[in-house]
């Protein structure tokens, strides 16, 4: 099974694609989609949609996993995150992908063993779980972690 993990953000959405064969997980690809902070919101969302559609077309995942929104102290930041997350969910739906959604604490627990893990701990575990994978940045690492969380929590058939 090929899983697409997404860590949505308006400024930089991370994506990661893994293959799961039994209990074995391997890295396929990852990246980050950056948008121009000076561009109008609709243009930024359209760019995010276009690139996500290309990632889905290029890697043909069978399902996707998206990190849930966490509430920031700044309501504007939360709203921007929600816009990007909506685009990510729409891109997956357009691609015919069933989507799992996971809270950040659950993702950290699935990777490190504790929901309060630091980003550095998650990235260190990713190096163990996906040896040799060159990760494009922190947002791509988070997306790979979301994909692995889905691999561990998805319904078995």
Q: Phi/psi at 123 (nearest 5 deg)? A: -65, -35
Distance CA 1, CA 17 (A): 10
Catalytic position from the list 21, 36, 67, 101: 67
Distance CA 66, CA 51 (A): 16
Establish whether 139 is an annotated binding residue.
yes
Cα-based angle 75, 78, 79 (whole degrees, multiple of 5): 85
Residue 7 appears among annotated catalytic residues: yes
Residue 68 appears among annotated catalytic residues: no
Distance CA 137, CA 14 (A): 8
Establish whether 7 is an annotated binding residue.
yes
Distance CA 97, CA 94 (A): 8
CB neighbour burial string for 55-78, b if at least 16 within 10 angstroms, e if fewer: bbeeeebebbbbbebeeeeeeeee
- The SS3 call for residue 138 is helix
Catalytic position from the list 7, 49, 73, 120: 7
Q: Which residues are annotated as a binding site for Mg(2+)?
A: 7, 67, 139
Q: Which residues are catalytic?
A: 7, 67, 139
């Amino acid at each position: 099974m090929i899983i697409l993990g997404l860590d949505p953000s308006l400024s930089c959405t991370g994506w990661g694609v893994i293959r799961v064969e039994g209990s074995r997980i391997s890295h396929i690809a990852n990246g980050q989609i950056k948008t121009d902070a000076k561009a109008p919101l609709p243009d930024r969302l359209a760019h995010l949609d276009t690139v996500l559609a290309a990632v889905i077309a290029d890697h043909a995942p069978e399902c996707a996993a998206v990190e849930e929104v966490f509430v920031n102290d700044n309501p504007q930041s939360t709203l921007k995150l929600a816009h990007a997350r909506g685009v990510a969910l729409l891109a997956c739906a357009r691609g015919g992908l069933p989507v799992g959604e996971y809270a950040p604490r659950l993702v950290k627990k699935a990777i490190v063993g504790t929901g309060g893990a630091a980003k550095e701990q998650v990235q260190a575990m990713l190096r163990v779980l996906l040896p040799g994978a060159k990760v494009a940045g922190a947002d791509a690492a988070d997306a790979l972690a979301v994909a692995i969380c889905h691999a561990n929590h998805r319904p078995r058939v």
